[in-house]
Amino acid sequence: MPYTLNVNGRSTVVDVPADMPLLWVLRDVLNLKGTKYGCGIGQCGACTVHVRGRAVRACQTPVSSAANTPITTIEGLSAEGTHPLQVVWQEIDVPQCGYCQAGQIMSAAALLANTPKPSNEDIDRAMNGNVCRCGTYLRIREGIHKAAAMLSSRAPQTARASAEPVATPAAPVARDVQVGR
C-alpha cells in the first residue's frame, strides 16, 4: 500500500505493507542506514528515531502509523554533524564501538527538546531504554550535560530550536519506491 512519509524534511511515497516496521522502510527502502537494528523488540533503543518530535523505536513502529507525520533520523538531526550532541559525542569520545550511538543521540535530542537543562535523574529516565553494551553510560550522561550547556549558551530562541530535530534536505530519500510483498 502506498504511504507518504516526511523523512528529514523530504516527502516521499513508499509502497510497502502497512505492518512493515519503520526501521526496515528507513534502512532497506529509503537507504538511510544510520538507524540501527539491535534487538527487534523495542528494548535496546538502537533504532530510535523521532516521529512527531517524540523518540520512538522504529523496529516496533508500523509504517502506517508514521505516514504523513514528521520523521527525523540521525541523518536528519544535522547533516553536517554540528548538532551539539554530535559535537560533544566526538569531543569527549562517548562511543566505544558506536553501534548504539545513533539511538542514544536521538533519545538525548528528544530529551533536550523538552528539558533544556536536565538533571542526572532526567537523563537516566530518558535514556533508560537505550542499551550500551560497552557501558559508556557515564560519558553519555556527561555528553548530554555538555550539549545542554552548549544549547543554553546560545540565544534563548535559538537554543530551544536547536535542541529539536532539524530537517535537512541533504539526507537522501528515495521517491516512489515499491517493495515486493
58 and 37 in one domain? yes
Percent residues over pLDDT 70 in the chain: 85
113 and 54 in one domain? no
93 and 34 in one domain? no
Q: What is the CATH number of the domain that holds 92?
A: 1.10.150.120
* Residue 162 scores a pLDDT above 80: no
94 and 61 in one domain? no
Average pLDDT, rounded, for the chain? 87
Q: What ranges make up the beta strands (E) of 10-163? A: 10-15, 48-51, 54-57, 70-72
* Number of domains comprising the chain: 2
How high is the pLDDT of residue 180?
Answer: 39
How high is the pLDDT of residue 173?
Answer: 33
How high is the pLDDT of residue 126?
Answer: 96
Instruction: Return phi, psi of residue 88, to 5°.
Output: -70, -30
| For residues 2-10, average pLDDT | 97
* Residue 159 scores a pLDDT above 60: no
Query: Does pTM surpass 0.95?
Result: no
11 and 34 in one domain? yes
Closest CA to 43 of 57, 62, 33: 57
How high is the pLDDT of residue 172?
Answer: 33
Q: Which three cell numbers stand for residue 168?
A: 535537512
C-beta separation of 63 from 25 below 8 A: yes
Decide which of 180 and 105 is more confident.
105
- In terms of residue numbers, what domain contains 37? 2-77+166-178
How high is the pLDDT of residue 154?
Answer: 80
57 and 121 in one domain? no
